[in-house]
Amino acid sequence: MNKFVNLATQDGVAVITINNPPVNALSPGVPEGLVEALDAAERDPSARAIVIIGGGRTFIAGADIKELELAASGRGSGPPEFHGILARIEDSTKPVVMAIHGTALGGGNEVAMAGHYRVAVPDAQIGQPEVNLGIIPGAEGTQRLPRLVGVAAAIDLCVSGKPIRAPEALKLGLIDRVIEGDLLAGAVAFARAIADKGGALPKTRELSDKLGSEFVNASIFAAGRDQARKTRRNMIAPLMAVDAIEAAATLPFDEGCKKEREIFEECIASDQARALIHAFFAERAVAKIPDIPKETAVYNIRQAAIIGAGTMGGGIAMACANAGIAVLLKEVEQTALDRGLAIIRKNYENSVKKGRFSQEVMDQRIALIHPQLTYDGFAQADLIIEAAFESMELKKRIFGEIDRIAQSDCVLASNTSTLDIDEIASVTSRPHMVIGLHFFSPANVMRLVEIVRGKATSREVVATALALAKKLGKVGVVVGNCRGFVGNRMMLPYMREAQFLVEEGATPEQVDRALTNFGMAMGIFAVDDMGGIDLAWRVRQEYKHLEKPGVRMPIVLEKLFHLGRYGQKTGAGWYRYDENRKPTADPEVHALIEKTAHEGGIERRHISDDEIIERSIYIMINEGAKILEEGYALRAADIDVIYLTGYGFPAYRGGPMWYADTVGLKQVRDRIREFHEKHGEFWEPAPLLAKLADQGETFADYDAAREQSLAVA
């Protein structure tokens, strides 16, 4: 038909195949090809029914997000419009059967729902993930979905954005049959049977029996809006998706579609959609490293070995086992090993209880983790990850030991969060095999892995780390070897500024509330208490020699440490905790802060939430700009991905650097200059930030220019 759509006939059924790799997105040309193919199939007297199927690894994964990006930024000719193709499918005079494998997401599911029937292989995934892009289903999905699955399930699918597998879709009425074995053969046989049976063709838009009554729906919509507010805090699209589904339940189909379109267009023009679409592409761009082409050879990781069964080591072991990688887990003492394993077991048991996977899956995963006190079997490992205490001396000793044992092709990784990877590598005979794999706690859950590239790390080892991150279901971001790498290097000034803010007049609760209202997953003081004030104190001691004499540092944290207030684990830190670790404000901490301020000659004043946000977030942005200019992050977008996947930065703000662009770099620079004058040298403006602001450019412009120059190189 055209280069995207192919038409053939099989056993008296027209088979329309969509070929738009890699994910068969509905890019320009695909809908047109579909219409042509449908016309031809209807004209063909030998075809009694029509099957639409995806070529390659998937059905249709949605509208082309590049098109949406253009529409969101006001470029292009507006968002794509699929009304014509959907009506054309549904009005077909021959039965149309959608044959689904891989994913039918967003516009993909919307096309599928316009078919008269849907069949799918058992592991096919079907869903409406648009809210993850800051939009709602915009191709009649909010109108057809409740007609097929009912209002409550439609709300759940559209608000959560989570896909479901074929068996659940069958239960809900979203598909008509699960096909075991060959999908095309099964779909063709299904289509023939429908044609044999004859009769009227079911059109989703004409269904109404699952739309419910106004009385029953009232509580369902209220619950849906609650779910949206709770699980998608501060986000516009999930609430708007509920509005659109409400239109389905209260208006005729065509009017409901009009309403959906209005809401869709409002969403796509929002800052949130722009930020989330940026995040989507940024997450995929991080794997593109200019000097590491796709074809770079990677080491095959079948057997991993981990040193340290503490919180990090245990979490990394689970992440490996979850991906089917066998793990040797080594500790120095039996009690520590037992404790580590007990935590792993408990975590898995909780997942089984919550129905995330079966007991059988849990048993398989635990069986992949082999606890031990020796280096037995390490000689056969393909990857060794050291996850010991954060001490250079200890890490060097361990790397010396594993260098003597490991096979020559074994990747040697450290989970250090701050230490110099080159110094660690220097004690081995093979620095090219050494890399940092900085996982985030809990490592079985958090998606980020900072991949720290040392000066000698080989390209193959970096490529292996990226492939490993993908296999573990994580996002690997390659960063340079500077103090704290990217994430923690930006985190330190953020923490310090928050402490200055409380000394100057804010309270920990006010700072945390302002930050969570801004959208951070947790306030910074709550983070401190969770991570441990003792740990924060220890990290500070490692770098105390770098602090300049005469430059004032905040000191309340030191005082909390000396009082034994280590945070959640001791029941008290910046907050006081009950036995369920629920925090409350602590007057003792307030008194301590006031006393400290008084002793330091600091006059406390009212601090606004706006100042809290500016000082906390801009200091991070300023550090991010320095990191970027120094080359420790390849792109501003890489920094965004680090903060979105590892530090709880709100996705709908796109990450700190994207957020700076949306505020306007001139405004950010001007405020930083003011803070510099008022608060001193920690606020030294980053030259890159100042330059971009002077030129009226953004970090996104900087990335785009750099992408081009890197491609030329």
Active site residues: 110, 130
Cα–Cα distance for residue pair 583/219, rounded to 1 Å: 32
For the bound state, the minimum distance from the C-beta of residue 371 to ligand 3H9, rounded and expressed in Å, comes to 32
Closer Cβ to ligand 3H9, 288 or 430, answer by number = 288
- Residue among 54, 106, 523, 554 that touches ligand 3H9 (CB under 6 A): 106
Stretch that binds ligand 3H9, among 99-107, 380-388, 394-402, 553-561 (CB under 6 A): 99-107
Using CB under 6 A as the binding rule, whether residue 130 contacts ligand 3H9 is answered as: yes
Per residue in 457-480, is it b (16+ CB within 10 Å) or e — as a string?
bbbbbbbbbbbbbeebebbbbbbb
Cα–Cα distance for residue pair 40/500, rounded to 1 Å: 71
Give the rounded distance of the alpha carbon of 81 from its chain centre: 28
Closer Cβ to ligand 3H9, 170 or 475, answer by number = 475
Using CB under 6 A as the binding rule, whether residue 455 contacts ligand 3H9 is answered as: no
Using CB under 6 A as the binding rule, whether residue 498 contacts ligand 3H9 is answered as: no
Using CB under 6 A as the binding rule, whether residue 63 contacts ligand 3H9 is answered as: yes
Closer Cβ to ligand 3H9, 65 or 247, answer by number = 65
Stretch that binds ligand 3H9, among 129-137, 391-399, 480-488, 617-625 (CB under 6 A): 129-137
The residue type of 533 is I
Tokens of 554: 């905040």
- Residue among 17, 20, 92, 103 that touches ligand 3H9 (CB under 6 A): 103
Q: Which residues make Cβ contacts (< 8 Å) with residue 677, sequence separation at least 6?
A: none
Is-contact 385 357, C-beta < 8 A? no
Is-contact 325 305, C-beta < 8 A? no
Q: Which residues make Cβ contacts (< 8 Å) with residue 253, sequence separation at least 6?
A: 143, 205, 206
Is-contact 45 83, C-beta < 8 A? no
For the bound state, the minimum distance from the C-beta of residue 323 to ligand 3H9, rounded and expressed in Å, comes to 14
Using CB under 6 A as the binding rule, whether residue 110 contacts ligand 3H9 is answered as: yes
- Residue among 96, 105, 239, 406 that touches ligand 3H9 (CB under 6 A): 105
For the bound state, the minimum distance from the C-beta of residue 261 to ligand 3H9, rounded and expressed in Å, comes to 9
Using CB under 6 A as the binding rule, whether residue 284 contacts ligand 3H9 is answered as: yes
Distances (CA, A) of 546 to 311, 490, 540, 569, 687: 29, 16, 10, 29, 22
Cα–Cα distance for residue pair 253/98, rounded to 1 Å: 22
Q: Give a three-class secondary structure readout of 369-406.
A: EEEECCCCCHHHCCEEEECCCCCHHHHHHHHHHHHHHC
Cα–Cα distance for residue pair 24/17, rounded to 1 Å: 10
- Residue among 38, 53, 65, 328 that touches ligand 3H9 (CB under 6 A): 65
Stretch that binds ligand 3H9, among 56-64, 570-578, 632-640, 701-709 (CB under 6 A): 56-64
Q: Which residue has the tokens 């997105």?
A: 25
Tokens of 75: 């470029």
Closer Cβ to ligand 3H9, 80 or 315, answer by number = 80
For the bound state, the minimum distance from the C-beta of residue 184 to ligand 3H9, rounded and expressed in Å, comes to 20
Q: Which residues make Cβ contacts (< 8 Å) with residue 4, sequence separation at least 6?
A: 18, 19, 20, 27, 29, 30, 33
Stretch that binds ligand 3H9, among 135-143, 439-447, 527-535, 632-640 (CB under 6 A): 135-143
Using CB under 6 A as the binding rule, whether residue 141 contacts ligand 3H9 is answered as: yes
Using CB under 6 A as the binding rule, whether residue 115 contacts ligand 3H9 is answered as: no
- Residue among 15, 51, 64, 286 that touches ligand 3H9 (CB under 6 A): 64
Using CB under 6 A as the binding rule, whether residue 267 contacts ligand 3H9 is answered as: no
Using CB under 6 A as the binding rule, whether residue 66 contacts ligand 3H9 is answered as: yes
For the bound state, the minimum distance from the C-beta of residue 694 to ligand 3H9, rounded and expressed in Å, comes to 33
Pick from 695, 600, 619, 601: which is nearest to 660 by CA?
619
- Residue among 31, 54, 79, 313 that touches ligand 3H9 (CB under 6 A): 79
Cα–Cα distance for residue pair 509/522, rounded to 1 Å: 11
Cα–Cα distance for residue pair 104/107, rounded to 1 Å: 8
Site string for ligand 3H9, 17-46 (x = CB under 6 A): -----xx-x---------------------
The residue type of 408 is S
CB atoms within 10 A of CB 407: 10
**Taking CB positions, which residue lies at the least distance from ligand 3H9?**
106
Closer Cβ to ligand 3H9, 111 or 612, answer by number = 111
Is-contact 534 566, C-beta < 8 A? yes
For the bound state, the minimum distance from the C-beta of residue 280 to ligand 3H9, rounded and expressed in Å, comes to 7
Pick from 696, 320, 646: which is nearest to 484 by CA?
646
For the bound state, the minimum distance from the C-beta of residue 522 to ligand 3H9, rounded and expressed in Å, comes to 26
For the bound state, the minimum distance from the C-beta of residue 117 to ligand 3H9, rounded and expressed in Å, comes to 21
- Residue among 80, 436, 583, 656 that touches ligand 3H9 (CB under 6 A): 80
- 3-class DSSP state of 512: helix
Give the rounded distance of the alpha carbon of 211 from its chain centre: 33
Closer Cβ to ligand 3H9, 261 or 669, answer by number = 261
Closer Cβ to ligand 3H9, 298 or 343, answer by number = 298
Site for ligand 3H9 (CB under 6 A): how many residues? 25
The residue type of 364 is Q
For the bound state, the minimum distance from the C-beta of residue 64 to ligand 3H9, rounded and expressed in Å, comes to 4
For the bound state, the minimum distance from the C-beta of residue 68 to ligand 3H9, rounded and expressed in Å, comes to 6
Using CB under 6 A as the binding rule, whether residue 129 contacts ligand 3H9 is answered as: yes
Using CB under 6 A as the binding rule, whether residue 346 contacts ligand 3H9 is answered as: no
Site string for ligand 3H9, 529-548 (x = CB under 6 A): --------------------
For the bound state, the minimum distance from the C-beta of residue 83 to ligand 3H9, rounded and expressed in Å, comes to 9
User: Which runs of consecutive H residues, i.e. helices, occur in 101-236?
Assistant: 107-114, 141-149, 151-160, 166-172, 183-197, 214-231
76 φ/ψ angles, rounded to the nearest 5 degrees: 75, -170
* Contacting positions for ligand 3H9 (CB under 6 A): 22-23, 25, 61-66, 79-80, 82, 103, 105-107, 110, 129-130, 133, 137-139, 141, 284
